[in-house]
Amino acid sequence: MPASALEDILLLLAATLAVMIAVRRLRLPPIIGFLAVGMTVGPHALGWVAANLTTQTLAEFGVVFLLFTLGLEFSLPRMLAMRREVFVLGSLQVAVTTIAVAAGAWLLGMPAAVAVLLGGAVAMSSTAIVIRQLGEQGELNRTHGRLAFGVLLFQDLAIVPFLALAGVIAGAEAGYTSAQIALAVSKAAMALVIVMAAGRWLLRPLLHEIAASGGGELFTLAVLFVAMAAAWITQAVGLSLALGAFLAGMMLAETEYRYQVEAGIRPFRDLLLGLFFVTVGMQLDLSALFRQLGTVTLLTGGLLVLKALVVTLVARRLAGQWFKSLRTGIVLAEGGEFGFALLTLLLQNRLVGIDVIQPLLAAITLSMVLSPILIRHNRQIARFLLRESRPEQPPPPPGDEATRALAAREHVVLCGFGRVGQNVARVLEQLGFEYLAMDLDPFRVRTAREAGDPVIYGNAADDGMLEAVGIGHASAVVVTFSDPERALRIVEAVRRQRADVPVLVRTADDSQMERLQAAGATELVPETLEAALMLVFHALLVLGVPMSRVLRSVNAIRRNRYRLLRSIFRREGAALLDDSHALREELHSVVLPPRAWAVGRTIQQIREHGAEVSFTAVRRAGIVGRDPDGNMLLREGDVVVLFGTPEALEHAEAVLLAG
């Protein structure tokens, strides 16, 4: 490799590393950082890296790996299970959006085939952003989430003919005919069928054989070979490298080794994808984009509005109402990674000038930056646009005769009806105890009530709601929310009305145990500590410890409020659980060097010198002594294990080392 090429790559990697640290701290999408690096060090800004053969090769490999990883996200079983949403709604969305954009590009003088590719680039949405954001919001199984997912599945399939078309018009030196385009699309369709069959009947046995040999490096090598070989084959038959890579990803996605494939190629994928987006950024002239700021803003707004409008119209029938179809449109309004790939192919093959591609790339980037905000607030935006003054109707408050009768009898009040709340309810039901649950998720409450569960919509920290669920007749209150602040408000509200009722509280960890106990919680169940305790329980049984002794040990740990299980080593940089001194004790080890002050002194002398921590163990010559005596004399090379708050540990270490 020439020295200049190596210097370019090193410079790109160094700049990428610096910018990505800043991007992650600001919680921005990584693509923004990669594009910023390319724009900054590229020929249009600082000029540190020129657009040459090296960067072009990196971009080509980046496109290959981008399409390969996107192909891995494809799922034929999910597509068949959602065939109505995929093939009806998805095909309409892609077709209508592509035709609308292509018509505009054609009227502006673009060749028809190039205009279609531009339309296809705009029609694609970001699967990664949409799925991640909807998953975080718990909306993947809602109507708009299901419809959006179906469209995204079809977009995965629709990229195949677009890539085939890009390969044909890029390889045609003296023009191309309709027959050539039809032949290329037919080849792509045949390749798709062959790939799916090969993935099922040929590749699965091969990967099984490689996996059985236990060679992780061999597995990764096989995956890289499949991806590159598929790309080479499609290029050899007149199609594009990117199409072969995408089909290879689809082929591997149909095997049970999909997740291992993703894990194996992740180092290569992240590096090459990063460099791909860096090379895309190098094509962007920041000064020209500022001069075209109005055009970029108009394109971004037009892209968002057009896609949202198209999806809203075509989804109306499947959604059942305008509100849900508009939410689907808002979710899918942004551009996506497929759009970057298609525009990059057009630019690499000189089918479109940089003056056209630059504003479109910038518009797609801006739409992807805005998409998490749009998706997060899709409900409010849809209400505003439809001029709806009230939200979806939640289930009515308790007022039916059955609920009032249940509230007047002895029962258990469940605060929260998520997975934990439902599990508690099923056990209570099986043992013959009645319960009445509250939750603030209208969809969950409606579904539960339709199934016959006694669940009502309401805030469990509200005094009026507690009266409505019969807190005066409750034999126990179970708080299943993992949010400690919400649990604290509920406990306080319960105690205002009932001082005697047992209140059991679920917590994610032990950070708020003292506050909840002070508020009146009878029992606390910290998930992480209970999980550790159950592992201890089963481990002791496997080791042959008598059941009576195991139960005594477990009960003793619970009686001592899990103090033993809170003695942990904290990883470097971990955030503290709370800001008070309570429940922050942790373990810390100190190795005594030759001239440490503590060498030759007893543990009692160290305590008297100001070390306000517990000495839990001393390791000497490979032998660990637990709970050392205060008269123990410390020696050079001893590993002293301390237990206390971070401040106390820091002071004790200073005492041990410097006196």
pLDDT tens digit string along 525-558? 877 777 777 787 778 787 788 888 878 877 777 6
Band (517; pLDDT cuts 50, 70, 90): confident
- DSSP 3-state assignment of 648? helix
Identify whether residues 11 and 87 lie together within a single domain. Answer: no
- Tell how far CA 198 is from the center of its chain: 31
Give the strand pairing for 435-439 and 455-457.
parallel
Looking at residues 275-280, what average pLDDT do you find?
Answer: 74
Are 68 and 82 within one domain?
Answer: yes
Pair 377, 415 in one domain: no
Domain that holds residue 603: 586-658
| pLDDT tens digit sequence for 344-383 | 778 777 777 777 888 888 888 888 878 888 998 998 899 8
- Residue 294's identity, in one-letter code, is G
- 219 and 364, same domain (yes or no): yes
How many domains does the chain contain in total? 4
> What's the angle, vertex CA 571, arms to CA 569 and CA 572, rounded to 5?
130
Query: Do 19 and 68 belong together in one domain?
Result: no
pLDDT digits over 596-624, tens only? Answer: 888 889 999 988 888 888 888 888 887 87
- Could you tell me the pLDDT band of residue 502, with boundaries at 50, 70 and 90? very high
Whether residues 249 and 325 share a domain: the answer is yes
Instruction: Compare 224 and 563 and report the one with higher pLDDT.
Output: 224
pTM: predicted TM-score of the whole model, two decimal places: 0.56
Check if the beta carbon of residue 570 is closer than 8 Å to that of residue 599.
no
Residue pair 137/371 in contact by the 8 Å Cβ criterion: no
Residue 491 has a pLDDT of 92
Residue 409 has a CB neighbour count (10 Å cut-off) of 11
What local confidence, expressed as pLDDT, does residue 577 receive?
44
Average pLDDT over residues 183-195: 71
Give me the pLDDT at residue 29, please: 66
- Give percent above pLDDT 90 in the chain: 13
Q: What is the pLDDT of residues 42-78, one digit of tens each?
A: 777 777 776 666 666 766 777 777 777 777 777 666 6
Q: Are residues 317 and 272 in the same domain?
A: yes
585: confidence class by pLDDT, cuts 50, 70, 90: low
Check the CA dihedral 417-420-422-427 and report its sign: negative
What's the CATH number where 113 sits? Answer: 1.20.1530
pLDDT score, position 332:
93
- CA atoms of 485 and 470, how far apart (whole Å): 23
Q: How many CB atoms within 10 Å of residue 235?
A: 16
- 488 and 350 both lie in a single domain: no
- Within a domain: residue 31? yes
Could you tell me if 639 and 597 lie in one domain?
yes
Count the Cβ atoms, other than its own, within 10 Å of residue 464.
9
Position 649 scores a pLDDT of 82
Q: List, as own/partner pairs, every contact residues 259-264 make where C-beta atoms lie below 8 angstroms and the sequence separation is at least 24, other chains included.
A: 260/211, 260/219, 261/72, 261/223, 262/69, 262/72, 264/216, 264/219, 264/220, 264/223
Based on the domain organization, do 41 and 109 belong to the same domain? no
Is residue 346 packed enough to be buried (19+ CB in 10 Å), middle (13-18) or exposed (0-12)? buried
pLDDT, tens digit (0-9, with 9 covering 90-100), for 450-469 = 677 888 888 888 888 888 88
Q: Are residues 131 and 251 in the same domain?
A: yes
- pLDDT of 155 > 80? The answer is yes
The residue assigned the tokens 């759009």 is 339
- Report the b/e string of 214-224 with b at 16+ CB within 10 A: eeeeebbebbe
Q: Could you tell me where the beta strands, DSSP code E, fall in 369-450?
A: 411-415, 435-439
Instruction: Give the pLDDT score at 5.
Output: 67
Q: What is the mean pLDDT of the chain?
A: 78
Tokens of 406: 């249940």
Asked if pLDDT for residue 225 goes beyond 70, the answer is yes
Tokens of 422: 């439902």
CATH number at residue 624: 3.30.70.1450
